[in-house]
Structure 1
Amino acid sequence: MTEFAPDELIVIRGRGRVSALGLLPVPADTSVSPFTAHTTGPAVAALPPAAEATLAELRRSNAAYRQLDRTVLLGLLAARQATAAAGWRSGGLLNSGVGESEDCQPTTPPTHHSANPPLAVSIGSSRGATGRLEEFHTGFLTDGTVPVAASPLTTLGNVASWVAYDAGSTGGAALSHSSTCSSAFQALGNAVAWLRAGMATRFLAGGTEAPLTDFTLAQMQVIGIYSPYEAADWPCRPGAGRPSTFVLGEGAAVFALEKVSRPQLAAEKSEEPVFVLEGVGFGFEAIGSKTGLSADGQHFQQAIRQALAQARLTPADIDAVVLHSPGTPAGDAAERAALHAVFGDALPPLLSNKWLIGHTLGASAALSLDFALHVLETQQWPASPFATDVASRTPRPVRRILVNAAGFGGNAASVLVACL
């Protein structure tokens, strides 16, 4: 296993997100469920009205954006926040108060400043341009025709390339990843590898997903994992046991990454918290069922141990875990079994944000990482209104967090993030 050079750090310079909580990492009001009922009946975690208006304005801001899939637009929205927070460009969607207000309005992206080094992009999405693909297919079944733009607007590469375009990237790579629900961490891991190899100096990396279509919802329901609870009754309940409480959500989170040396970071003398990606691990288990996993979460164990080894850390160094835990009894139990295998009896507090934003598929890992950064920054997070093993507090300050993700097909990924 390759270990990271101890004097080279991958720093998160800025971040952005959008979800059922709007542009906020946690809800301003925890007394009301952020879930709503989809037109077909089941509960979903959809964008609230203010964020929906912001997304609509983004679509109108550029004639080319009016044809883009919702997945792409969510990625643009989060990426604009991240680049603005990193100070990588003037103007843009938000200023230094990125993500803390829903009053922001998007603008046409500014021109790229040649003084900046090339900006590379790595974005994960499980299903990509879901809405547009289904629209084009419906049209084809209706009248037998397909628009010229159908293919370029629905390829997976369409996601990262538009994020790169909107960010003003010239000369950097634009990489799209799809590995089911760990897609965002696959994208993040690739960005980290490129940065450490010297193949790039700045990266926008994260995940985006807009899967709230009739067809996608039907796919999730037929698997038999969808929550029976109403939208107002906190339908997604990770760690609560039976029944299964999977709820589909939409959203995106993107991070502005740079590689810096410890002396360089010390010379900056910033009073703001510095977030460092210390390890990115991956796991895979070859099992016959592509929707199942081993009872002891072998892929989780592999990913966690790989991330720890890269960072030269032990389980005792971890202060909290942000779970993948989608609310499915088998999946939740397997992840906890894996954590017990790695941590033994010294299991750190378990955290989750899926009970607030649902399972956003390819964006879920990125939104979990964003939640972890919020916890590191504020030492606070909301307590769930239902019985669960997810912690409402920790016995000590949280300085380093393990974040897990997993998806269909037996893959898993884990990220270690710390606040210096």
Structure 2
Amino acid sequence: MRKRVVITGIGALSPIGNDAKTTYENAVKGINGIAPITRVNTDDLNVKVGGELKDFNIEDYIPLKEARRMDRFTQYAIVAARQAVKDAKLDINEENAERIGVWIGSGIGGMETFENSYDALINKGPRRVSPFFVPMMIPDMAAGQVSIDLGAKGPNGCTVTACATGTNCIGDALRIVQYGDADVMIAGGTEAPITRLSLAGFSSNKALSTNDDPETACQPWQDGRDGFVMGEGAGVVILESLDHALARGADIYAEVVGYGNNADAHHITAPAPNGEGGVRTMKMALKDAGIEPEQVQYINAHGTSTPIGDLYETMAIKTTFGNHAKDLLVSSTKSMTGHLLGATGAIEAIITALTIKEGKVPPTIHQQTYSEEFDLNYVPNKMVEKEIEYALSNSLGFGGHNAVLVLKKYSE
């Protein structure tokens, strides 16, 4: 029999907050975290805005000498993981370390490290490439460094599924706890993609918005949307078997009851026609949770502000939920954070868990009018107070990766 699994701790760095609860509070308020990019020179790029962290200094968390041996995506993961462990009041020691694991992924890993190392190779020669180049760049290093930092010796891994990474990591960690291979998993996603090469590459395949107005660049479901806005950060949750959580008197945010994970098998970047892959994934997650579509009240949508993606996700929701779709609240918190790639699913799972706990549904900002095909309740511009029993968090990634989590209000 599968174990029940609950979320007992949360940690986050996002463009709208340097911890999980601030991120949620600002999402509920409809705070826009998208602004002109400051980290890199965008003069010769056609992308000018992004979702950068605000007032964040890694030296406040990690000594500079140590931090310099990590790419930003790893730094972000360590900070968010420490926050989550502290929030869960989880003591990791020699007695329990082997029963506590880490599953944190990154969609593209150490892109900043890659760029800097290539520049060193070309301009200064191979001897000037850092010996830390490879361990700084590879995507699994976030999970590895977090386990070292916290002393967690249990199952350790890194699921890499582009924009579905954070959701897949939480789902894969869920299975580990459900089947008893660990009592606790530190799970989520992290990304630091705001570099010149990343911006140039995503721009070349027409994925990014070229709108330089922070108030309209990311406008899911609106006419004129032309691509997603890149963001950065990390989200980490503490997944714990219910028995283990109750035994130590842990506070519980929500229960994770369903997980769907499959492929479009269609195209490397474009979603399957009419969102059929998303339909299969949502149905898979609902079946895993053992609930009917009518029991769901809220969906934290993938909602990236891409022309086809937004349309097909809306179509997928209508197909999955039928007549109940019109009763759902469907919001895109990416309208405030931008798209954090491998971290986005984890950030959105945290927001969804807090939505269930607090009963305040964050809005989709930058909403004005809708075309005929966009006829769901996208929670435009202002939060809605509503008791949420069941909620979905959707993530869809390049390569045709689809991942959906079902969260439930905890009850004994």
Q: TM-score, normalised by structure 1?
A: 0.86
Q: Is the 8 A contact 1:241 1:327 kept in 2?
A: no
Q: Distance in 2 between matches of 1:265 and 1:215?
A: 43
CA offsets, 1:196-254, max 9 Å, x none?
22211111000000000011011121222322433442421112233314100001100
The counterpart of 1:362, out of the listed 328, 331, 342, is 342
Shift of 1:59: 3.4
Aligned residue pairs: how many?
384
Q: Does 1:349 align with 2:349?
A: no
Shift of 1:411: 1.2
Aligned residue number for residue 72 of structure 1: 74
Q: Distance in 2 between matches of 1:19 and 1:346?
A: 32
Aligned residue number for residue 25 of structure 1: 23
Aligned residue number for residue 305 of structure 1: 283
Query: Cα distance 1:266–1:114, how it changes in 2: closer, same or farther (>3 A)?
Result: closer
Q: Is the 8 A contact 1:210 1:251 kept in 2?
A: yes
Q: Does 1:374 align with 2:354?
A: yes
Shift of 1:334: 0.7
Q: Percent identity?
A: 24
Aligned residue number for residue 238 of structure 2: 256
Report the RMSD for the aligned CA atoms in angstroms. 2.2
How is 1:108-127 mapped onto 2 (pairs within 5 angstroms)? 112-118=92-98, 119-127=100-108
Shift of 1:186: 1.8
Query: Cα distance 1:266–1:167, how it changes in 2: closer, same or farther (>3 A)?
Result: closer
Aligned residue number for residue 291 of structure 1: 269
CA offsets, 1:289-346, max 9 Å, x none?
3111222112211211111111111101101100001000100111111111110121
Q: Is the 8 A contact 1:293 1:410 kept in 2?
A: yes
Q: Distance in 2 between matches of 1:130 and 1:385?
A: 30
Query: Cα distance 1:385–1:410, how it changes in 2: closer, same or farther (>3 A)?
Result: closer
- What amino acid maps onto 2:187 in structure 1? A
- What amino acid maps onto 1:278 in structure 2? V
Q: Which moved more, 1:357-366 or 1:300-309?
A: 300-309
Shift of 1:88: 1.0
Shift of 1:25: 1.9
Aligned residue number for residue 53 of structure 2: 47
Query: Cα distance 1:65–1:400, how it changes in 2: closer, same or farther (>3 A)?
Result: same
Q: Distance in 1 between matches of 2:31 and 2:238?
A: 32
Q: Distance in 1 between matches of 2:25 and 2:212?
A: 19
Q: Is the 8 A contact 1:33 1:234 kept in 2?
A: no
Q: Distance in 1 between matches of 2:206 and 2:245?
A: 49
Q: Does 1:418 align with 2:408?
A: yes
Q: Is the 8 A contact 1:284 1:410 kept in 2?
A: yes
Query: Cα distance 1:197–1:31, how it changes in 2: closer, same or farther (>3 A)?
Result: closer
Secondary structure in structure 1 of the residue aligned to 2:4? strand
How is 1:153-232 mapped onto 2 (pairs within 5 angstroms)? 153-169=136-152, 171-232=153-214
5+ long unaligned stretches in structure 2: 371-376
5+ long unaligned stretches in structure 1: 90-111
Shift of 1:148: 1.9
Secondary structure in structure 1 of the residue aligned to 2:87? helix
Q: Is the 8 A contact 2:361 2:385 kept in 1?
A: no
- What amino acid maps onto 1:208 in structure 2? T
Shift of 1:380: 1.9
Q: Does 1:320 align with 2:303?
A: no
Q: Does 1:147 align with 2:130?
A: yes
- What amino acid maps onto 1:57 in structure 2? D
Secondary structure in structure 1 of the residue aligned to 2:211? coil
Question: Which ranges of 4 or more aligned residues in structure 1 deviate by more than 6 Å?
Answer: 264-270
Q: Is the 8 A contact 1:284 1:302 kept in 2?
A: no
Q: Distance in 2 between matches of 1:34 and 1:395?
A: 22
Shift of 1:28: 4.3
Q: Does 1:403 align with 2:358?
A: no
The counterpart of 1:275, out of the listed 254, 257, 261, is 254
Secondary structure in structure 1 of the residue aligned to 2:141? helix
Shift of 1:58: 2.1
- What amino acid maps onto 1:185 in structure 2? T
